[in-house]
Amino acid sequence: MKRLFTLLMVILVAGSYSQLVAQGKPKIVFQKTEHNFGSFKESDGVQTTTFEFTNTGDAPLILNAVTASCGCTTPDWSRQPIAPGQKGTVKVAYNPANRPGAFSKTATVRSNAETAVVVLTISGRVEEREKTLAELYPREIGVLRAQRNHISFPTIKMSEVKTETLELLNDTDKPVSVGFRTVPPHIKATVNPATIPAKGKGVLTVEYDAKAANTYGFASHRIYLSLNGSNDYKSSIGISATIEEDFSALSAAEMANAPVVNFNTLSYDFGDIKQGEKKEYTFELANKGKRDLVIRNVRSSCGCTAVSPSKNVIGAGETAPIKVVFDSTGKKGRQSKTVTVITNDPKTPTTTLRVSTNII
């Protein structure tokens, strides 16, 4: 009987303690957990809303942290303990700058309440502001502006002539006459109109003759404009192209008898070397095909890497060395450089070799 009484007392005390613990817990209740700003202009600037909450529990409520889902959303909240029955706020601001379109972001509230984590959501749609001319044409070419100051011909066959255009904007109050100071011989460039009126536009047309360029692989050039008769070299536009040999006319028999590139390896690591040291490695290039393999071009990714093919024509079944010398002068840390070898192998016309090292 005594043991039964003791057990009942333990259960009664435990139940009373649990009730006291439950009564001593703060509770966080938000009036709302979502807010839609609707549609607003980007130029309207930062938008802010306030989420109000009440501590409906029996102990002080403390907000430990409020974290936003992205840097465009900035929260602020009540830092002092919120007594039972009192209210607090979480303010959430959204910055629409350069963020046109619909959005939905969250702010996560962490506290000592029974519900320790509450997620607040803001949403809306930002109407894109009208961009300035400087934003639409960010590149300055002398007194003119353009969307870019480079024209690229990503891939062009040796037999092709391709044309690209670039719009030029004269945002000044006076007309600008456009001529050319220097243009590579394989490029033809014209501007229409030759005199771009004030606040007007013109079109630069560039025609690239790959055969006349007489090279293979990546090639870069610059054309220099003469604006209002100026003879300086400040107004220029970059031109680049990747020139490939045209194998489309080869017959099945010619493809079967074509040269075939085969390197002993495609990469080599010199390991740890001291700054200022020069290291060299010789790649072996074998022609596994039935006709002469012709090395069209060899390029390194930087001037610190010198490449010396022993010969440019490798007969069927022959092997030729390609020596690569890496100069570590002025370099430090991990380095990785590439060598591009372009040949008349129709299946693998371009091969990339890599040399790497760690400079101490």
pLDDT of residue 132: 84
pLDDT of residue 308: 86
pLDDT digits (tens, 9 = 90+) for 319-332: 999 999 999 999 99
Residue 48 lies in a domain: yes
Are residues 62 and 102 located together in one domain of the fold?
A: yes
Residue ranges making up the domain that contains 293: 252-359
Residue 318, classed as helix, strand or coil, is coil
Determine whether 334 is exposed, middle or buried from the number of CB atoms within 10 Å of its CB (0-12, 13-18, 19+): exposed
Residue 1 lies in a domain: no
User: What's the structural domain count of the chain?
Assistant: 3
List of residues 6+ apart from 166 with CB closer than 8 A: 146, 147, 148, 151, 203, 204, 206, 237
99 phi, psi to nearest 5 deg: -130, 60
CATH number at residue 203: 2.60.40.10
Residue 50 lies in a domain: yes
Q: Which residues of the chain have pLDDT under 70?
A: 1-23
Global pTM value = 0.67
pLDDT of residue 19: 47
CA distances from 232 to 181, 183, 197, 225, 228 (A): 9, 14, 22, 9, 11
Please say which residue of 127, 158, 178 terminates a domain: 127
Are residues 82 and 170 located together in one domain of the fold?
A: no
Are residues 157 and 123 located together in one domain of the fold?
A: no
Are residues 351 and 257 located together in one domain of the fold?
A: yes
Are residues 68 and 168 located together in one domain of the fold?
A: no
Are residues 288 and 334 located together in one domain of the fold?
A: yes
DSSP H or E run through 133: helix 133-136
DSSP H or E run through 308: strand 305-309
Are residues 109 and 145 located together in one domain of the fold?
A: no
pLDDT of residue 23: 56
pLDDT of residue 151: 97
